[in-house]
């Protein structure tokens, strides 16, 4: 089981901070700051695909899997439909990535 360094409360705080912004902008910034700056962590989404409109609200969802892995799910709705991408990250990588993304997003405001 992976080592957890972020509490559930910290994860919810990160989730709330990301959800202050449009998920399309969040996804773009994640590309800018790099989804995988650490060796061994891939840049590809762990899971992705289309969704039915309204099945899952747009935005960020942060959760742990049954095995303790940290997941970031971004759901985006557009005229063409809804879709999601999900990334599995270490706690340290997630915290670094989200802090950098929020800094850039706040700079755009």
Count CB neighbours of 69 within 10 A: 16
pTM of the complete model: 0.79
What's the mean pLDDT in 8-17? 95
Listed by start position, the domains of the chain span: 8-36+48-90
Angle formed by the axes of helices 91-108 and 8-18, nearest 10°: 30
pLDDT over threshold 90, residue 60: yes
Res. 48: pLDDT tops 70: no
Q: Is the pLDDT of residue 37 over 70?
A: no
How distant, in Å, are the alpha carbons of 5, 22, 47 from that of 53? 35, 17, 18
């Amino acid at each position: 089981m992976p080592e957890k360094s972020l509490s559930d409360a910290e994860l919810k705080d990160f989730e709330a901070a990301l959800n202050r912004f449009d998920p399309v902008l969040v996804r773009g910034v994640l590309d800018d700051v790099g989804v995988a700056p650490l060796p061994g962590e891939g840049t590809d989404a762990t899971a992705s695909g289309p969704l039915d409109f309204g099945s899952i609200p747009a935005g960020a969802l942060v959760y742990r899997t049954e095995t303790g892995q940290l997941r970031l799910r971004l759901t985006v709705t557009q005229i063409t439909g809804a879709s999601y991408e999900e990334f599995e990250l270490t706690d340290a990588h997630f915290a670094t990535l989200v802090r950098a993304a929020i800094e850039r997003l706040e700079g755009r405001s």
